A and B are shown apart, each in its own frame.
Chain A
Amino acid sequence: MSTSSLFVTLAVLIAVAYVLGRGRSMALADHSQRGFRNLNSLPFYYGMLTALWCGIPSLLLVALWLMLDGNAIDQLLIAQLPGEVAALSHAELGLVLNNIKNLALGNMVGANPEPYMVEAASTLTALQRSSQMAMTVAAISVAMVLSIIAWLRINPQQKARLQVETAFKVILLACASLAILTTIGIVFSVIFESLQFFKTVPVSDFLFGLQWSPQMAIRADQVGSSGAFGVIPLFVGTLLISLIAMIVAVPAGLMSAIYLSEYASSRVRSMVKPALEVLAGIPTVVYGFFAALTVAPFVRDSGVWAFEFLGLPMQISSESALAAGLVMGIMIIPFVSSLSDDVITAVPQSMRDGSLGLGATKSETIKQVVIPAALPGIVGGILLAVSRAIGETMIVVMAAGLAANLTANPLDTVTTVTVQIVTLLVGDQEFDSPKTLSAFALGLVLFVVTLALNYVALHVVRKYREQYE
């Protein structure tokens, strides 16, 4: 039976187990009065308990089997191969195995496969078939046996509700730990690769170097490509673009939040707020088009015009930090405005009444009472927007270029950490050269920086959150 039909079968079994478990508890119930008074839990819980016993262990078994059976079959296959083939190096053995697998699937593997390969291919097919069969039998029998046991154990005294709730608590915990475990996994994979990188390039060169040109000689006879891995130009570029973005986003976002929460009528608010949030839903690659095709040429043309007008002999590139920063600023306006709007709305009306009751005008009330009371939340929102700006890639790739210039001139082309990570890893790359490994080191530094920012943001929000209460 194929894996997908096995899942369907198990689903049917689970449903049947639920119905039967529920039915048995109802049958055992005392119906002399209304309801089911002698049952410890409602019939639903007995049904759920039976279904859980049917489903969870068998599904876990299937998952484990699918994870391990590929390796086990490989080992069995290698044991069958002729001695001289089994003695090959790890990489070459992998190639041979691949050939055998292709042969088993009926794909072309070359002119005439060697006889041991043909034989191994048929063994492989047989092994796979029996593994599949064994899995089906095991899973279905586990499901049936356990649900029958659970079904037989149903009695009115059984604390089914508590057991089901405990099981669900564990399931919820497992889901919650998924995100945490993934984060830990990401961190570790980045850290290990970064350590590899730091074996070839010293940490101090990496963190404080002023030159970024990650070209390594692939062949020994290649000329002049020793590579320079100074991260400073990338961080300066990132900061420059983020700064421009924040200069656009913070005033625009904050003021639109103030307008929406304090001045707008509910009709305007109900139209403008969703419209602003649509901005957050636009894929960043679309912003990238906009930046590269509309804003960047506009910036260049107006720059050229301005310099001509002033008679300055300045160059202006068609890709600029300014274009990328402007568009990125537009992109993060909804982050700032939406979060600020929420915290401003959360300031109690009694604060505003107190100020208005003293004869303060609306703007005095907003400037001197509402904004200071909402400030922690606003700062938190802004910091989250900064993390977002630092992590943004697509717009920068398209509008700011790839040249790692160490410059503070917003009209120059710059590049950012995330963009370099992308360019380092795209295409065919050696995974043991410092060039590719440096991407992980960049990722690590970026991760640390955004983590620190998020931590500060959360801390600020938490520390001052309830100040006005």
Chain B
Amino acid sequence: MTELNAVAQATIAQAVETPAAAAASSASYETVGQPFLDSGAKMSMRDVDVFYGDKQAIFNVGLDIGQNEVLAMIGPSGCGKSTFLRCLNRMNDTIDICRVTGQLQLEGQNIYDPKLDVVPLRARVGMVFQKPNPFPKSIYDNVAYGPRIHGLVSRRAELDEVVETSLRKASLWEEVKDRLHAPGTGLSGGQQQRLCIARTIAVSPEVILMDEPCSALDPIATAKIEELIAELSENFTIAIVTHSMQQAARVSHRTAYFHLGKLIEVNDTEKVFTNPDHELTEAYITGRFG
């Protein structure tokens, strides 16, 4: 817990110390492009500010994520994209000093409502992390974990079915069907990450948040996950944070560019990578910094 706080603070410190910070931290700014959708928004966020203690990490971000859309969030390290992603299923609650203000809604329901139970929220908005983090249990138990704690199945046969379907959707079934009871930690990095995706899918979430899911993987495993993201978008809404602009270009429908805690530009992915509206976006995607 404290470790995480320290990391968060270090990130903030880094953001504040950057020379460009002075220029970019003027009080008000406008997000260019199309951050908001006219209809079909699965999640909509308005005026979101996030603070770690006294330091502000996210400034007045407004953004919609559409149904069955893949939204990529890009930006230099420490720009707040992971922090923002973690607000979407209240994973930031685990950090004591973190404070979130603004409206964040999932299908019109305020997810920061003090009366809201965070457990069903996280079942509806699942998360896949940067480093594969399978539990020290068998492959089967890893996938069965969510359905069991949420009481989604009542009989062993149903559980078997959920496990198989989830592993199939995560294109891992063929590789592990003969060793379902071997420990999940014994898989390769790419398989572990697909196991974590299967684990998330098993709960049947509506939105899947992915925090740099491929940064610890080799190109082949990355290609498999990217293929998987394309398939998953038929059933799920996906928000993905990535450092790879090629990945953002390949998998996403819309791309959001964050810079020092501010949402600079949101546009269709094609437009962002060919003809961005904002000069900072252009500077970042052409590799002038970041």
Interface residues of A (CB under 8 A from B): 265-266, 348-361, 364, 368-369, 372-373, 467-469
Contacts and interface: CB of A to CB of B under 8 A. Distances in A.
Contacts of B91: 353, 356-357
Given A358-B199, A364-B149, 13 more contacts: A266-B2, A354-B129, A354-B133, A356-B91, A356-B94, A357-B200, A358-B122, A359-B146, A359-B149, A359-B150, A360-B119, A373-B136, A467-B136
Interface string B201-224: 001000000000000000000000
Interface string B116-150: 00011111101111010111110000000110011
B96 A265 contact: yes
A357 B94 CA distance: 11
B231 to A, nearest CB: 21
Interface size of B as a range: 20 to 34
Contact of B185 (A349, A360, A372, A468): A468
A97 B203 CA distance: 89
If over half of A's interface residues share one DSSP class (helix, strand or loop), that class is named, otherwise mixed; here it is: helix
Interface string B1-23: 11110000000000000000000
Contact of B149 (A348, A349, A350, A368): A368
B129 A355 contact: no
A349 B122 contact: no
B145 A358 contact: yes
Nearest to B200: A358
Contact of B133 (A348, A359, A360, A364): A348
Query: Most A CB atoms within 10 A — which of B1, B136, B200?
Result: B136
B72 interface: no
Nearest to A357: B127
B123 A358 contact: yes
Contacts of A372: 135-137
Interface in B80-95: 89, 91, 94
A292 B1 CA distance: 43
26 contacts: A266-B2, A348-B133, A349-B4, A350-B133, A353-B127, A354-B129, A354-B199, A356-B122, A357-B122, A357-B126, A358-B122, A358-B145, A358-B146, A358-B200, A359-B120, A359-B126, A359-B150, A359-B203, A360-B119, A360-B145, A368-B145, A368-B149, A369-B135, A372-B136, A373-B136, A468-B185
B266 interface: no
A198 to B, nearest CB: 47
A384 to B, nearest CB: 22
A104 B226 CA distance: 95
A415 to B, nearest CB: 43
A25 B9 CA distance: 50
Query: Most B CB atoms within 10 A — which of A351, A356, A359, A467?
Result: A359
B256 interface: no
A469 B136 CA distance: 8
Contacts of B135: 351, 354-355, 368-369, 372-373, 468
Interface in B168-221: 183, 185, 196, 199-200, 203
Contacts of B136: 351, 372-373, 467-468
A263 to B, nearest CB: 11
A350 B211 CA distance: 12
Contact of A358 (B94, B126, B137): B126
A265 B5 CA distance: 13
A349 B3 contact: yes
B129 A359 contact: no
